[in-house]
Amino acid sequence: MDLKDQDLGHLFAKIMIVDDEPINVKIVRKYLRGIGYTNFVTTTDSTTCTQLITAEEPDIVLLDYLMPDVNGLQILKWIRSQEKFKHMPVVVLTASTDSETKFAALGLGATDFLPKPLDPNELFPRVRNSLIVKAHQDHLAEYSEKLEREVQLRTAELEMSRLRVFQCLARAGEFRDDTTGTHVFRVGRCAGILSSEFGYSRQQVAMVELAAQLHDIGKIGIPDAILLKPGKLTPEEMTEMRKHCVYGKGIIDPTTDNEAELARRYTAIVSSPVQVSESPLLTMAASIALTHHERFDGTGYPNGLRGNEIPLEGRITAIVDVFDALQSPRPYKTALPPEKCLEIIASDRGKHFDPKVHDALLSRLPDVMKIYRQPATDLAA
């Protein structure tokens, strides 16, 4: 047989021959050796066949049909039940010529079917073609796994980039009156801790932690003369300061009018159509930015929301924001000890703060205070 123009890689394949007659095994091996195959696994004991397949992992099985104890169809059925071997070529060999036998073998997933006595002119191309197809399938499977790994790596890189963008944006909002940015990161960490007390999933807790970091992003729009004023703000200045909630929502809110333009620009970059959709993370961040100064009794701003009208994430961020602000030095105040901060917050239970959220703070206080013992460099990690 002229194999000069054929891919010879299949000649290195491991071929398993299963037949209860030693002479049949010898004949098949002799035929295949004659055209260059050298790697064989053989057995005449069908009861050990499945263990041998598991141990040797052949590239193809030439399987006799009529054998004592365990016949070829039983072995074939087992092979196709194994995820690892369900695409392995199995050529069934039998002296039976009835159509029912052939139908049964093919129905169980036989790759091919050869009658005995074997004709080398049929055996050679059937084995070769089955192995070449398997080699292509293996290549495709490896390529698919490689693509999957690359997609996972790229997804992880994109996720890390998104986290960094969030952190940079959070720092930008806090930079003028807290150049370390630690306030926003502490608020985010503490909000995440408290949200876990309300049945949030692990993913939702992580989302709250990120979203809460942007609660004060609207400060970008507040003049320095007001933001950094060491004394008490005038009513007019306080009105201006309170606008940072609305500014924050406007900066973050993904429901803008330029989605079509965003899609057009991104399509030009990636050379394929894209559809811009709302981000749950940005939606939550916008909600927190807008509502973290609302009060449980309805006397907060900017919309005077009351009780459960305030999103839970906003109520959570409200209490950890105040808790952190009380403990932090500002141009207009000195830092207070944690005990005094807790006393002040307790006095506003049911007024400024949701009683359930206050209970969550007390319940998780040891975990919250750990955040305050961490180095500033670790908070954004």
290, two tokens: 């807008």
pLDDT tens by residue, 348-357: 999 999 999 9
Query: With 60 as the cut, is the pLDDT of residue 327 above it?
Result: yes
- Strand ranges inside 26-159, DSSP E: 39-43, 60-64, 90-94, 112-115
pLDDT tens by residue, 3-39: 444 456 678 899 999 999 999 999 999 999 998 999 9
On whether residue 343 sits in a domain, the answer given is yes
Q: Which residues pair with 91 in a beta bridge?
A: 62, 112
The mean per-residue pLDDT over the stretch 195-202 comes to 95
Task: Report how many domains make up the chain.
Answer: 2
Determine which one of 30, 116, 219, 340 is catalytic.
Answer: 219
Last residue of a domain, one of 123, 143, 163: 143
- How many other C-beta atoms lie within 10 A of the C-beta of residue 119? 12
Query: With 70 as the cut, is the pLDDT of residue 2 above it?
Result: no
- Residue 69: CB partners within 8 Å, gap ≥ 6? 46, 47
Last residue of a domain, one of 143, 161, 190: 143
On whether residue 328 sits in a domain, the answer given is yes
Q: Are residues 112 and 236 in the same domain?
A: no
On whether residue 157 sits in a domain, the answer given is no
Q: Are residues 278 and 321 in the same domain?
A: yes
The CATH code of the domain that includes 343 is: 1.10.3210.10
- CA–CA distance, 297 with 329 (Å, rounded to integer): 28
Q: Are residues 187 and 79 in the same domain?
A: no
Q: Are residues 201 and 292 in the same domain?
A: yes
Q: Are residues 354 and 227 in the same domain?
A: yes
On whether residue 98 sits in a domain, the answer given is yes
59, two tokens: 């590239």
Contact 317, 212 (CB under 8 A): yes
Q: Are residues 205 and 347 in the same domain?
A: yes
Query: With 50 as the cut, is the pLDDT of residue 320 above it?
Result: yes
Print the domain residue range for 108: 8-143
pLDDT tens by residue, 250-263: 888 855 545 555 45
- Our answer to whether residue 249 is catalytic in this structure is no
Q: Are residues 97 and 139 in the same domain?
A: yes
Query: With 90 as the cut, is the pLDDT of residue 82 above it?
Result: yes
- CA–CA distance, 212 with 296 (Å, rounded to integer): 18
Q: Are residues 216 and 125 in the same domain?
A: no
User: 275 φ, ψ to 5°?
Assistant: -120, 120
Q: Are residues 15 and 80 in the same domain?
A: yes
Last residue of a domain, one of 143, 166, 191: 143
Query: With 90 as the cut, is the pLDDT of residue 153 above it?
Result: no
Q: Are residues 233 and 276 in the same domain?
A: yes
- CA–CA distance, 93 with 68 (Å, rounded to integer): 15
376, two tokens: 């500033």
